[in-house]
Structure 1
Amino acid sequence: MKSTFFFGAAITAFAKLTSGAGVTGAAEGFAKGVTGGGSATPVYPTTNAQLVSYLGDSSARVIILTKTFDFTGTEGTTTSTGCAPWGTASACQLAINKDSWCDNYESSAPKVSVSYDNAGVLGITVKSNKSLVGQGSAGIIKGKGLRIVSGASNIIIQNVHITNLNPKYVWGGDAITLDNTDLVWIDHVKTSLIGRQHIVLGNNPSKRVTISNSEIDGSSSWSATCDGHHYWAMYFTGSNDLVTLKGNYIHHTSGRSPKVAGNTLLHAVNNYWYANSGHAFEVDSGAYIVVEGSVFQNVDLMVDTSSVGGKIFTSPSTSANAACSAYLGHTCQVNAFGSTTSYTGSDTSFFSSFSGKNVASASTASSAQSSVLSNAGIGKI
């Protein structure tokens, strides 16, 4: 009887434990209302094949990661001729000749032999109505990223660490790719040791995206700037993208953190940029950016001033920030700078683009500095 009672109690306890499994909190900003897999019964993949199947099928899924899923070496390696656009020093990234990139764009660069893991080059297919959630600090995907397919919508990626995608090589792989998507929430995610982009939005519109409480870790032994700071961080250039970037820790990068173009409307609020040896924002034609309540510490340039083709509002003063109220629903918060070359952007001509959309709230830069470091990344929900 004792053993039977204990077994029954254990089953009850396990049911209580798993009944609460799934997404924590709710998205703020443009992706507000996303539900992912909703109330689907949680599934717990134990193999790479199961994980791939759950993410790529047509069912609503709540997928809980309780371990490291290591894809390195599972699809073989390729050795071929690439190039060294930034030199052959040990700290410099080399480049895979993807789509003849070395031949067409870096034809004068020295040719070198490259050997890379095939799994990292193309991410796992993710279809609509999925919640992918890591348990504690255990949810790690190594050697392969996530690729949300064209036309997919209603997706949540939370508390997951994606790492080790051929970091020695440009074109070695992207951590999270979106293209022609809608309602995507990336929350408490960490990306590290990535070959190309940590988060990239393709040329087609991704209409409602929120990236929150995440850590973009650019620390690497190889970089395009040959200084241990990853250059390719975030790439928001899809046509008519809507991106909320809130509460993220973006550090040890050297550029494109993010690059914005393609009629992308970006609300960057309460983020913490740290230790960037180049520039944070690249503001190309078609960029519409509001940056508020954020911290820039040890960032060489807040904005790449060599070619500012888009529009950016950097919350330059309390008086100027009042203009936000009519369209963003609050007075914008001033940014904070330490050992950083700031940039004054006062263009408000695009503020009407926020009308009728879900806009994230904002707190002061001083509160963001402490909250981001304690809250952003995996294992902090």
Structure 2
Amino acid sequence: MRKTVVRRGLAGFAAVAAATALTVASGGVAHAVGSPTGFGAGTTGGGNASPITVTSGSALVSAMKASGAAVIRVSGMVSFTGMQDVTSNKTIIGVGSGSGIQGGGGIDVDGATNVIIQNLNFRGGSDDLINVQDSSTKIWIDHNNFYDSADGALDIKRGSDYITVSWNKVQNHDKSFLLGHSDDNGSQDRGHLRVSYHHNWFAGSTQRHPRVRFGNPVHVYNNYYQGVTSYGVASTMEAGVLVEGNYFENTNRACDLGQGDSPAGRLVQRNNTLVSSGACAATGSVNAIPYSYTLESAATARTNVINGAGVGKVA
């Protein structure tokens, strides 16, 4: 598909958000708001299934594991232990700005397809906060806040594909977004791990925004990196990453090639802004982006991300 790039400001995005909002009801959003662009385009989650509201961790776990399409509204901060599975055709959405998961548990998207996770606060996980694995496809992770888990904020691995990660905020976190878990997993990961990361806000986080293995192309655009203490993006182990239109501010190193024991991947960088930040290392070529998308200037993206990323900004 030929790529079309259109530039549009905050007013344009507000109009799009208003036009694509599915349902907003008293007491919070009833269904997912908007629709994903990028590799996760076409993800509908639970669609227009009648929403159910859960107010406890046990009720959320039961609803996530049930078969069939469902829209699950999480009201308040709930807790459970361990990584708990969500099955296909689910929307999980927080009510208002004070809902989410805390106290050790995380969501495991394991071999599932067509899942939306939106408007949730994740904090205090004992493992990953969200784990997408085992050939999961058509996943949209949007407008969430991630804080202080023991491991990753969001890990995507083991052949998963066609995913969009948009408008999230990561704060005071070490290992943010991992894509591809092992240099030894190429037989499963090659030709997969295609993810779009856009309009995310990394505020005082450390590394992996994202750290990529094998995925090619991976598209990292119009994100805001603020006070990142190690590196922004790392391309490693056969990856191909396009990094464009991002705003790096007080970031130690904008982009790395290779990381730890992983060899360098390929990275193309263009139209990024670096303010008091280390360089964005780049080498080689990356497979073409196969979809149309809107690319803002880095400065416009920074403003839009500050105004629009995170919980409570979906409606």
TM-score range relative to shorter protein: 0.7 to 0.9
Task: Mark the CA change 1:48 to 1:339 in structure 2 (over 3 Å): closer, same or farther.
Answer: same
Shift in Å, 1:343: 2.2
Q: 1:247 Cα shift?
A: 0.3
CA shift for structure 1 position 17: 3.8
Cα distance in 1, alignment partners of residues 36 and 299 from structure 2: 23
Q: Aligned pair 1:232/2:175, yes or no?
A: yes
Q: Please tell me the residue identity of whatever aligns with 2:67.
A: S
Which sits farther off after the overlay, 262-271 or 187-196? 262-271
When residues 147 and 235 of structure 1 are mapped into structure 2, their CA distance, relative to the original with a 3 A threshold, is same
Displacement of 1:135 after TM fit?
1.5
Q: Calculate the TM-score normalised by the size of structure 2.
A: 0.83
Structure with a larger share of its residues in helix:
1
1:62 lines up with 2:5 in the alignment: no
Taking the TM superposition and a 5 Å limit, the aligned residue runs for 1:136-215 are 136-143=96-103, 144-150=105-111, 152-165=112-125, 172-179=126-133, 180-202=135-157, 204-215=158-169
Change in 2 beyond 3 A, CA 1:40/1:340 = same
1:250 deviates by 1.1
Q: Counterparts of 1:214 and 1:27 in 2: how far apart (Å)?
A: 13
- Structure 2 distance, partners of 1:250, 1:18, is 29
1:259 aligns with 2:211: yes
Identity score, percent: 26
Separation in 1 of the partners of 2:245 and 2:25?
Answer: 40
The DSSP-based 3-state class of the residue aligned with 1:59 is coil
Render the CA deviation track for 1:298-337: whole Å, top value 9, x for unaligned. Answer: 111112356561110011xxxxxxxxxxxxxxxxxx1001
Q: Deviations over 1:112-154 (max 9, x none)?
A: xxxxxxx2xx32211100001111113211121110012x100
Could you tell me whether the CA contact under 8 Å between 2:148 and 2:174 is conserved in 1?
A: no
The one-letter amino acid of 2:179's match is F
The 3 A distance-change label for structure 1 pair 201 and 244 is same
| Residue 344 of structure 1, CA deviation | 4.5
Matches of 2:214 and 2:29, distance apart in 1: 40
Alignment of 1:1-381 (within 5 A): 17=26, 21-71=30-80, 119=81, 122-143=82-103, 144-150=105-111, 152-165=112-125, 172-179=126-133, 180-202=135-157, 204-217=158-171, 219=172, 230-237=173-180, 239=189, 240-305=192-257, 309-315=264-270, 334-345=271-282, 347-348=284-285, 350-352=286-288, 354=289, 357-381=290-314
Q: Structure 2: 5+ residue runs without aligned partners?
A: 1-23, 182-188
Q: What number of residue pairs does the alignment pair up?
A: 277
CA RMSD of aligned residues (A): 1.9
Residues 16/191 of structure 1: CA separation in 2 closer, same or farther (3 Å cut): closer
| Superposed CA offset, 1:31-59 (max 9, x none) | 11110001110000122221111101112
Contact 1:237/1:264 (8 A) holds in 2: no
1:259-298 Cα distance to aligned partner (Å, 9 max, x none)? 1012343100100011112111222112110011100001
How far, CA to CA, are the matches of 1:265 and 1:335 in structure 2? 18
CA 264–145 in structure 1, closer or farther in 2 if over 3 Å, else same: farther
SS at 2:196 equivalent: strand
Name the CA shift for 1:149/1:132 in 2 (closer, same or farther; >3 Å).
same
CA distance in 1, matches of 2:147, 2:27: 29
Which residue does 2:4 correspond to in 1?
Answer: none
Q: Return the letter of the residue paired with 1:235.
A: L
TM-score by length of 1: 0.69
Q: Does the CA-based 8 Å contact 2:255-2:282 persist in structure 1?
A: no
Deviations 1:91-121 (A, max 9, x none): xxxxxxxxxxxxxxxxxxxxxxxxxxxx2xx
Q: What's the offset of the Cα at 1:173?
A: 0.6
* Structure 1: tracts of 5 or more residues without a match: 1-14, 72-118, 166-171, 220-229, 316-333
Alignment check: 8 A CA contact 2:235 2:258 kept: no
Q: Give the whole-Å Cα distance in 1 for the aligned partners of 2:26 and 2:97.
A: 17
136-145 or 255-264, which deviates more: 255-264
Structure 1 297/60 Cα, relative in aligned 2: closer, same or farther at 3 Å? same
What's the secondary structure of 1:128's corresponding residue? coil
8 A Cα contact 1:153 1:183, kept in partner: yes
Using the alignment, how far apart are the partners of 1:207 and 1:371 within structure 2? 27
CA positional deviation for 1:183: 0.3
CA distance 1:16–1:125, change in 2 (3 Å): closer
Cα offset, 1:63, TM superposition: 0.6
Residues in 1 aligned to 2:304 and 2:160: alpha-carbon distance in whole angstroms: 28
